[in-house]
Amino acid sequence: MQYLMECSHTSVKVGWPDDVMRCDDIACYAMRRVIAIECREWHVKCNSCKWGRWFGQDEHGAKRAAAKHAHSCMVDYMRHPKLYDTLKRSYSRRVKPFILPAYGGNQLPGVRRYEPAPVLQMLDKVVNPDVPPF
């Protein structure tokens, strides 16, 4: 499972975390509060029959399985019901059920993290061309 800590670092570990866990980033490496747990997974569902499978974070595996299936399938990145129910029972409202780039995660498939354009400094107009602007 993937977790987002309050220091905006993400971590991938097996099992459900405590409310506070150690950040794995070398620069941080401190005890931080968990603010979000990714409860979304790739899901493939057939439109013609009852076939459907969860693939975790494996996008390529989900698309490959959909292509191999005999009927037309729908591939979606959606909230897993059992993970979400366990999250709500264990953490209530303290932990968000998904990680978005707005929270600091940049690992979502097909979503790039927002990076602002560099700001250019405007120099005042030079009244006298013989005087340098600095």
* pTM, entire model: 0.66
- Rg of the chain's alpha carbons, rounded to an integer? 23
Condensed to tens digits (0 to 9), the pLDDT of residues 7-34 reads 888 888 888 888 888 888 887 888 888 8
* Structure token pair of residue 41: 């997974």
CA distance to 12, 38, 66, 78, 124, per residue, from 1 (Å): 5, 7, 23, 15, 53
Average pLDDT, the chain: 79
Residues sharing a CB contact under 8 Å with residue 63, sequence separation 6 or more, in sequence order: 75
